[in-house]
Structure 1
């Protein structure tokens, strides 16, 4: 399973490689990881946080010079108006790229806090996590609760919280042998690109507001802002309201900043980098949990460790992903096994995990934008029946088949 590939159009399904679910217990896997790698160091975490805050501040300060420099009459005279504008927007693009990565790194630290991986002290985790996530439009406690449930139930068709695959019946695909797949999935590349961009920019707000891509068994209006939502228990309602107060404070703060400095100034310095956070976060999580070679489970075939292994590590943006994003994409599989392990131990712990579970560890070197396009097209639906499931593409093809499956379920 470590090699992620595409199905060929002419391959008979009975000849597909066979997948056997992972046999080990979570305790056996944990014993393969040195205990020192589970130790959280608050001071070390604070150093990473301080670094990111400094980077964000420096980039913000440097960006404040972009318009004054390239709108300066002397500069415009030398570069000509078109040249000055071209360089001005190029400079803004550089700022948006790197500030978006830095903001995403800050969001990742908030995510670490939500898991209790930043510090041994709950008050430190929740205080910093609340500040960081609220500043980036994430209801900290509300999302922390549903995200914890996602980790506890990942890859379970019945209980997972997000990225739950659509089934054949969800899409109204008949079980006939002769199906016009082009009629069902014959979207133009332009339309597919539009839908993909929509996913990248709106999927996270849509999930928080409307449960888009979430558990299909939830009521229609399930969301992260209703304290009485099925997502939360009665005991959790107060912290959900606290998260809502934080978001309300952000609405007020951004409105105030827009009135003081101008709406477009807020968009340039803060709004577009925040959109980049949404894009990177959705891209990272989508590619972690969505691939033709990753299984989903029903019933008793699922357990926690099998769900944790149903993720894939990726070489995400090379050194930039490692430095700015705190290895969140490079070493995500180990995070699903042990979410309280701090991110700075992810690389070493992954080597021990890989040595123990072997081919049940998944890694992909495919360039991430190519992987995003391919997986968006290849991962369409799973079958209505069966306890070990793999995504099928726009031709109804899978790349793996379970070791034990009845032919009628294929």
Structure 2
């Protein structure tokens, strides 16, 4: 693993100020996202709840969900300790932001920390862990042969479309409720219920209590939504909240999927895996100025985020430039436009297979 930089060598090339957190600056970015969302919601309140305005409401959901994704990113920074040195303030903000998006904050914080520790690990990874050709279902994700056969029987276009639908619409709730795409080590986990009949492996020690604390916030939000629907009608909730939330969830899946999946990016077994090697298997992509602005550069600075997740997003651009210059052979950036990259991953990345020379697992593509 001599080709992978060590943390001390990385710390030498990243400017020291990149590791500092400024509460006032983080709050300023939060208020910016709030201001943008207030404007979008104010516009939404002027749209009538009539069938003839259905297309307008779809457009509204796309816009409002895209702007609201900024809250998800800030809550994500809170979960990593990148928002502020004031841990109580950071936890309150992260808990509130994630809870209003129906994300169980502490449950996610735990599973996401596992994802960071074992990025692209074939058995202990925690998001978008692929099916394995020859996997036994205990130490690896079995079912790769069946998935390859199925993808080739229906063709690349149909398989890609199905993958997009399953990932973007069903993927996030399926992960929260049943641990789908998580590694086999943790079994069928549930982010709301840390005990049987679900696996308890993801919630050691006091984390199970924190899951219940997350649930309390989610319950409050659900009660508010019920009262909202009761007072103002279900159409109001569907158009102003549910539609945009579905778009937020889609953005979340797009980012996590494309951060850690590409046809030439391997997954690793125990012999080849290390934290730093996994971190450098993250992929930066070109999301453009508007999305980078709204989403605080989460997609274009993700490699450095995996290397040093406590670096706040407003220093991540500078830190990314530093590692890109210092370690060009291992830094991954794919310039493919996002819509093309998403289709390529959905239609080509079916299952992985051990390469036979090491514990690297390479993608077996859909050749149809």
Mark yes or no: TM-score above 0.5. Answer: yes
Contact 2:279 2:306 in 1 (8 A): yes
Alpha-carbon offset, residue 183 of structure 1: 6.4
1:234 is aligned, of 179, 193, 205, to 205
State the match for 1:199 in structure 2.
167
Structure 1, 43-52 or 382-391: larger mean CA deviation = 382-391
Q: Which runs of 4+ in 1 moved over 6 A?
A: none
1:127 aligns with 2:113: no
Aligned residue in 2 for 1:149: 114
Distance 2:321 2:84 in 1: 24
Distance in 1, matches of 2:238 and 2:3, equals 47
Match of residue 271, structure 2, among 294, 300, 319: 300
Q: Is structure 2 residue 181 aligned with structure 1 residue 209?
A: no
Instruction: Give the 5 Å matches for 1:212-223.
Output: 212-219=180-187, 221-223=188-190
Q: Counterpart of 2:80? A: 115
For the 8 Å contact 1:38–1:342, the answer to whether it is kept is yes
- Structure 2 counterpart of 1:375: 345
Which stretch of structure 1 is more off in the superposition, 94-103 or 119-128? Answer: 94-103
Contact persistence 1:224–1:231 (CA under 8 A): no
Match of 2:218 among 247, 255, 258: 247
Spell out the pairing of 1:356-367 with structure 2 (5 A cutoff): 356-367=326-337
Give the match for residue 139 of structure 2: none
Look up the match of 1:270.
241
Q: Which has the larger radius of gyration?
A: 1
Evaluate the alpha carbon distance shift between residue 321 and residue 41 of structure 1 in structure 2; reply closer, same or farther with a 3 A threshold. Answer: same
SS in structure 2 opposite 1:380? strand
Per the normalisation by structure 2, the TM-score is 0.90
**Which of the residues 153, 158, 161 maps onto 1:186?**
153
Q: Does 2:32 correspond to 1:51?
A: yes
Q: 1:286 to 1:124 in 2, by over 3 A?
A: same
CA contact (8 A) 1:40 1:117 kept: yes
* Aligned partner of residue 125 in structure 2, secondary structure: coil
User: What corresponds to 1:340 in structure 2?
Assistant: 310
Q: Structure 1 unaligned segments of length 5 or more: list them.
A: 1-19, 72-83, 175-180, 397-410
Write the distance in 1 (CA, Å) between the matches of 2:25 and 2:303: 22
Alpha-carbon shift at residue 233 of structure 1 (Å)? 1.4
**Equivalent pair of 2:163/2:346 in contact (CA under 8 Å):** no
Which residue, out of 314, 325, 332, partners 2:295? 325
- The whole-number CA distance in structure 1 between the counterparts of 2:24 and 2:151 is 54
Judge which range, 189-198 or 271-280, deviates more: 189-198
Alpha-carbon offset, residue 378 of structure 1: 1.6
Aligned to 1:137: 102
Q: Secondary structure at 1:302's aligned position in 2? A: coil
Does structure 2 retain, via aligned residues, the 8 Å contact 1:292–1:378?
Answer: yes
Deviation string for 1:12-57 (max 9, x for gaps)?
xxxxxxxx87332122112211111110011011111111112111
**Equivalents in 2 of 1:65, 1:395: separation in Å?**
49
| SS of aligned partner of 2:17 | helix
The aligned residue for residue 66 of structure 1 is 47
Change (3 A) 1:191 1:312: closer
Displacement, 1:392? 1.8
For the Cα contact (< 8 Å) 1:163–1:286, is it kept in 2?
A: yes
Query: Number of matched residues?
Result: 353
Distance 1:269 1:354, change over 3 A: same
Q: What's the TM-score, normalizing by structure 1?
A: 0.81
